[in-house]
Structure 1
Amino acid sequence: MDLKTKVSSQLKQAMKDKDTRRLSTLRLINAAIKDLEIAKRNCEEGDDAALGNDEVLGILTKMVKQRRESERAYEEGGRLELAEQEREEAEIIAEFLPKPLSDAEKEQAIKDAIADSGAGSLRDMGKVMSLLKQRHAGRLDFATVGPEVRERLAS
């Protein structure tokens, strides 16, 4: 089952269960998917505007990141009820993302990407990051992986 179908079925279930928080979050996901489909349709005349799993994964990853940033901002501002709401939304969205790589798997993925790309210096960091994004989209936090790759290539 593709992610778009999974979101739709979960949306229907949330309606049946009358789970308002989950329902509103799933509607936000659905709206983001539809927005990207419309944008894609407008850019690519006559092409099929259906999104693939990779594109939906990108949307979901971005949404989780936004929620985590908002949560931190609300906590710093003393708005704990809003921070909790953002945390709940991020958890619901994260249910649709693949399981993140463990630390050992992340280390191995970085080693493999460096070896496969033939990277030898910091100039090759883009190649390594590109390879990691192709292989592990949605499973790695690239904000934390970037400095690790930089450190390895610098030494």
Structure 2
Amino acid sequence: MDLRTKVSTALKQAMKDKAADRLSTLRLINAAIKDKDIAARAVGNDEGVGDAEVLAILGKMSKQRLESARAYEEGGRLDLAERERQEVTVIEEFLPQQLSDEEAAAAVDAAIAEIGAESIRDMGKVMGALKAKYTGQMDFGKIGPTVKERLS
């Protein structure tokens, strides 16, 4: 079952369960996917977005909510921070399991070996390979410095 179907099924179940908070978050996810579909159609892709792009959307949404929660906590709005964290929990149900630090480091080493990267100039190729293979499974903002260190 693809991610779009999983989200749709969860949305219907949340409606049946009358889970208002969960339903709200699932509708946000659905709207974000449909926005990307519309943008894809505008450039000639009539099939819409695939699972890889849906994973990227979910990862971005999760990251945005975590940043908002931190900002709310710093501002003393713990009620809003808690709501953001609840949304992150719902979003992360659809994301694959995150790689541990050791697994991420092993993935970086494997990508470097696979590409034959030798210098910092190859960093883009390594990051591209990692994004193609591990979208939604690792934070590329955190992994970038590791790649840079290994290539230096």
TM-score between the two structures when normalised by the length of structure 2: 0.96
| Residue equivalent to 2:20 | 20
**Separation in 1 of the partners of 2:49 and 2:120?**
34
User: How far did 1:48 drift?
Assistant: 2.0
Counterpart among 93, 115, 127 of residue 113 in structure 2: 115
**Separation in 2 of the partners of 1:40 and 1:131?**
23
User: How far did 1:152 drift?
Assistant: 1.2
Counterpart among 63, 67, 78 of residue 69 in structure 1: 67
C-alpha contact 1:38 1:49 (8 A) present in aligned 2? no
Q: Within 5 A, what are the aligned runs for 1:1-155?
A: 1-44=1-44, 47-154=45-152
For these two proteins, the number of residue pairs brought into alignment is 152
Q: What whole-Å deviation, never above 9, does each CA across 1:27-47 have from its counterpart, x for those lacking one?
A: 000111111111111221xx4
**Separation in 2 of the partners of 1:110 and 1:49?**
32
- Return the letter of the residue paired with 1:86: E
Q: Which runs of 5+ in 2 are unaligned?
A: none
Q: Which runs of 5+ in 1 are unaligned?
A: none
- Return the letter of the residue paired with 1:108: A
C-alpha contact 1:64 1:93 (8 A) present in aligned 2? yes
C-alpha contact 1:129 1:146 (8 A) present in aligned 2? yes
RMSD: 1.0
C-alpha contact 2:38 2:48 (8 A) present in aligned 1? no
Percent identical among aligned pairs is: 62
**Separation in 2 of the partners of 1:103 and 1:39?**
35
Runs of 4+ in structure 1 displaced over 3 angstroms? none
Larger displacement relative to structure 2 (110-119 or 47-56): 47-56
**Separation in 1 of the partners of 2:4 and 2:28?**
13
Q: What whole-Å deviation, never above 9, does each CA across 1:82-106 have from its counterpart, x for those lacking one?
A: 1111111011001100111122211
TM-score between the two structures when normalised by the length of structure 1: 0.94
Which SS does the other structure have where 1:49 is aligned?
coil
C-alpha contact 2:68 2:81 (8 A) present in aligned 1? yes
User: How far did 1:58 drift?
Assistant: 1.1
**Separation in 2 of the partners of 1:129 and 1:52?**
20
